[in-house]
């Protein structure tokens, strides 16, 4: 039986195919990406190049796409957002792919966006930062406590949170947004929730079968922020089936919760004691308030009404 080389030579009598391969090899080897690799990897032999020519071609093509990058969404590479590198292993050329800077930036942005969950929170609150908060003597203590919490929060290790109370429009919700954005810089996930609307949604969730899923998500978020607690019409169900289980879980898992309210501790306890069944249920309200008091610092937010 003739050797493979003889069979190949019989087919390629004029040597045209050999010339094409040689020209292709020259174009690949002389390309900017491959030349850069060869300068750094001086142990590469001619035989290794011949055997790894297809990999060098792939490397060249993909890297040239990167040099004229059309953006991540239009990336023409085989794996969008990845670029190849060549390395030598056991006398052969091998390819590996890694994320390009645009891919890394995109993932970072998505991660950052996912670090703040929000439910029914206005856009201006979600964009709040401590740098943008209007400083005044009435709110100095509240701002200081908010910054302290945001910079020292350790979900899972320290479950202590804040209870910000004050009159309508003094900027309590805005402080929550600033805390959330500060936590984001430390890669700590938080959830901002407007409590009255959340309780209404949880009632509707019973009908669509998503109640337990939503409750679990809120219970387990590293830092939970319940805005305007007490503003809703209290029912025994929202108190005992939503707020109670949330606080019990977070207390046991040392997950901090930040509240805002128009009521202080004692006033909120009165609100929570009301029952839609008629009368009051002071003991049940007291149990929840003991958890809130034990795991939050009471801070009054003073100042003028900034919404008027």
Q: Which is more confident, 73 or 136?
A: 73
**Per-residue confidence band for 100, with pLDDT thresholds at 50, 70 and 90:** very high
* pLDDT above 90 coverage of the chain, percent: 54
Determine whether 182 is exposed, middle or buried from the number of CB atoms within 10 Å of its CB (0-12, 13-18, 19+). Answer: buried
Q: How confident is the model at residue 296 (pLDDT cuts 50, 70, 90)?
A: very high
Domains of the chain: 15-103 (no CATH), 115-300 (3.40.50.300)
For residues 126 and 118, is the Cβ–Cβ distance under 8 A?
yes
Confidence check: pLDDT of 3 > 60: no
Please calculate the CA angle 192-116-298 and round it to the nearest 5 degrees. Answer: 40
Of the two residues 111 and 45, the one the predictor is more confident about is 45
Residues 229, 233, 239, 245, Cα dihedral to 10°: -50
Q: For residues 118 and 193, what is the distance between their CA atoms, to the nearest angstrom?
A: 6
Q: Confidence band (pLDDT; 50, 70, 90) for 204? A: confident
The mean pLDDT of 176-200, rounded to a whole number, is: 91
Query: Mean pLDDT over residues 193-209, rounded?
Result: 88
Mean pLDDT of the region 101-108: 83
Q: Where would I find the H helices in the chain? A: 4-11, 16-30, 32-40, 46-51, 53-67, 101-114, 123-126, 140-152, 172-185, 195-208, 211-220, 236-237, 244-253, 265-273, 282-294
Instruction: Report whether 256 contacts 161 (CB < 8 A).
Output: yes
Residue-wise pLDDT tens digits, 20-68: 878 888 898 899 998 999 988 878 999 999 898 899 999 999 999 999 9
Nearest to 250 by CA among 169, 113, 184, 155: 155
Among 180-189, 220-229, 255-264, 298-307, which stretch is predicted with the lowest mean pLDDT? 298-307
pLDDT at 18 (0 to 100): 77
Write down the pLDDT at residue 11. Answer: 58
What is the average pLDDT value for the chain, to the nearest integer?
87
pLDDT in tens, 218-270: 899 999 999 999 987 778 888 999 999 999 999 999 999 999 999 999 999 99
pLDDT at position 65 is: 93
For residue 179, the model assigns a pLDDT of: 96
pLDDT over 50 at 130, yes or no: yes
| Assigned token pair, 268 | 């909120």
Residue 5 has pLDDT above 60, yes or no: no
Q: In what order do the strands lie in the sheet with 190-194?
A: 116-119, 190-194, 223-227, 257-261, 161-165, 296-300
Read off the pTM. Answer: 0.67
Q: How much is the average pLDDT of 82-87?
A: 93
Q: For residue 9, what pLDDT is reported? A: 56
Q: What pLDDT score was predicted for residue 1? A: 44
């Amino acid at each position: 039986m003739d050797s493979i080389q003889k069979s190949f030579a019989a087919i390629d009598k004029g040597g045209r195919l050999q010339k094409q391969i040689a020209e292709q090899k020259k174009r690949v080897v002389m390309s900017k990406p491959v030349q850069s690799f060869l300068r750094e990897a001086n142990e590469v032999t001619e035989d290794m190049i011949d055997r790894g020519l297809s990999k060098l071609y792939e490397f060249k093509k993909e890297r040239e796409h990167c040099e004229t990058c059309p953006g991540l969404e239009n990336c023409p590479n085989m794996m969008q957002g990845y670029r190849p590198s060549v390395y030598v292993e056991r006398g052969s050329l091998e390819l590996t792919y890694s994320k390009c800077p645009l891919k890394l930036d995109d993932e970072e942005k998505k991660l950052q966006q996912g670090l703040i969950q929000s439910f029914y929170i206005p856009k201006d609150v979600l964009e709040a930062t401590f740098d943008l908060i209007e400083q005044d003597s009435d709110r100095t203590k509240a701002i200081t406590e908010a910054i302290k919490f945001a910079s020292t929060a350790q979900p899972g290790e320290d479950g202590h949170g804040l209870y910000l109370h004050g009159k309508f429009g003094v900027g309590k919700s805005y402080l929550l947004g600033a805390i959330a954005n500060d936590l984001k810089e430390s890669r700590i996930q938080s959830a901002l929730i407007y409590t009255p609307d959340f309780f209404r949604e949880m009632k509707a969730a019973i009908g669509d079968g998503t109640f337990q899923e939503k409750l679990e998500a809120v219970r387990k978020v590293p830092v939970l922020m319940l805005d305007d607690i007490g503003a809703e019409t209290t029912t025994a169900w929202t108190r005992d089936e939503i707020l109670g289980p949330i606080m019990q879980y977070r207390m046991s898992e040392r997950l901090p919760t930040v509240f805002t309210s128009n009521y202080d501790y004692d006033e909120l306890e009165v609100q929570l004691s009301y029952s839609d069944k008629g009368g009051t249920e002071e003991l049940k309200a007291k149990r929840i308030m003991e958890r809130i008091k034990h795991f939050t610092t009471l801070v009054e937010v003073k100042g003028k009404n900034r919404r008027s």
